[in-house]
Amino acid sequence: MLRVLYDPDGFFKDYRNGWIPSIAIVVICAVINAVLGYLKVPAILEEALSRYPLTQDQAEMLRAFLGVQVIVSTIVGVFLGWIILAGVLHLLSAIFKGEGEFSRTLKNTAFSLLPSIILSPITFAYATSLKPTPEALIIGLANYLWQSYILVFALKYARNIETKKAVVCVAIPIVIMYSLSLLGFLRMRNL
């Protein structure tokens, strides 16, 4: 399965497994992101306390609320993001006469989350503060590029389209997502 990280073309050409690997990848990614998000709760709380005077009881209630909110929203967000990305890619590939079931697009798309899992310790090391850093932006770009590399071949074999067409389909949502990240970075740097 790790072959997908360095040879996604060969991996997806041969890949015919069921849902278990895809679901496992999404669950692992969701759990890791939830844990990393939870570890940022103290920084979020500190930021809130610096702006708004709260009593000790209010601060504890906010800490509990933030902890639950971060975990739940992250897990739901990863699953929704996976389904939405697969749906967008499936629809975009229809423009190029892509053929194949959405379920295969969804299964294959899950593998693009592996770079996020692998890079999560590095991401966390450079993204511990609430203010984004240039290093976090660069790591994010590396993550998007690696995910794109996997997604091109995931889509190529899920929808039976040419590599060039898969590149166009993948580039559209990835450029939009990274642009939004970049705008968020610039906005947060100015706060």
What distance in Å separates the CA atoms of residue 146 and residue 188, rounded to the nearest whole number? Answer: 25
Match 């580039």 to its residue by tokens. Answer: 171
What distance in Å separates the CA atoms of residue 118 and residue 33, rounded to the nearest whole number? Answer: 12
35-65 pLDDT, tens digit per residue, is 988 888 888 788 778 888 888 888 888 888 9
What distance in Å separates the CA atoms of residue 83 and residue 26, rounded to the nearest whole number? Answer: 10
pTM of the predicted model as reported, rounded to 2 decimal places: 0.87
Q: Count the Cβ atoms, other than its own, within 10 Å of residue 157.
A: 21
Helix (H) or strand (E) holding 46: helix 41-51
Please state the domain extents for the chain. Answer: 9-189
pLDDT given at position 190: 67
134-177 pLDDT, tens digit per residue, is 787 888 889 999 999 999 999 999 999 999 999 999 999 989 98
